Amino acid sequence: MGGREAAPMGYEPVPPAEADLTRMMSSLDEQAARFGRVGRDLAETRGNGESADGLVGVEVSSSGTLVGVRIEPGALGLGAEALAQAVLRAAKRAEHDVAERANQALGPLVGGQNGEVSPPAETTRADHRTG
């Protein structure tokens, strides 16, 4: 009987262009869901840092907002200037920690190797460990 074969009952063939569009829309939906998950993860990300002696601890949010400070009783004997410096060093470490965590969360979206994004030039691992 030459010509077209009849499609099975209840089945309508999808033109190739429509199938491609369906695949693209599905891919976009998956990407949007991935971005949503990463956005939620970033919003919940926290960074922690401590002074070298462990007497001061600081927690910051992903936006860098200070969300917690811990000062051990032994730190009160340091004096005002030393205590202030310990808090600043702990805060710097917490900022670096949250930046590393954010980079790890963003890595899969921006194609970093092993889920990592290069840190900003002014922030290094040495900054995280000094003081």
Distance CA 76, CA 129 (A): 23
Q: Is the pTM of this model over 0.95?
A: no
Average pLDDT on 80-109 reads 91
pLDDT of res. 74: 95
34-72: per-residue pLDDT in tens?
888 878 878 888 999 999 999 999 999 998 899 999 999
105-131: per-residue pLDDT in tens?
887 677 654 444 444 444 333 344 334
Distance CA 41, CA 36 (A): 9
Distance CA 99, CA 95 (A): 6
- What are the phi and psi torsion angles at 53 (to 5°)? -90, -5
Contact 41, 105 (CB under 8 A): yes
Tokens describing residue 131: 């003081």
Cβ-Cβ contacts under 8 Å for 13 (sequence gap 6 or more): 7
Distance CA 47, CA 123 (A): 15
The CA-based angle 60-63-65, given to 5 degrees, is 45
Contact 98, 60 (CB under 8 A): yes
Contact 131, 89 (CB under 8 A): yes
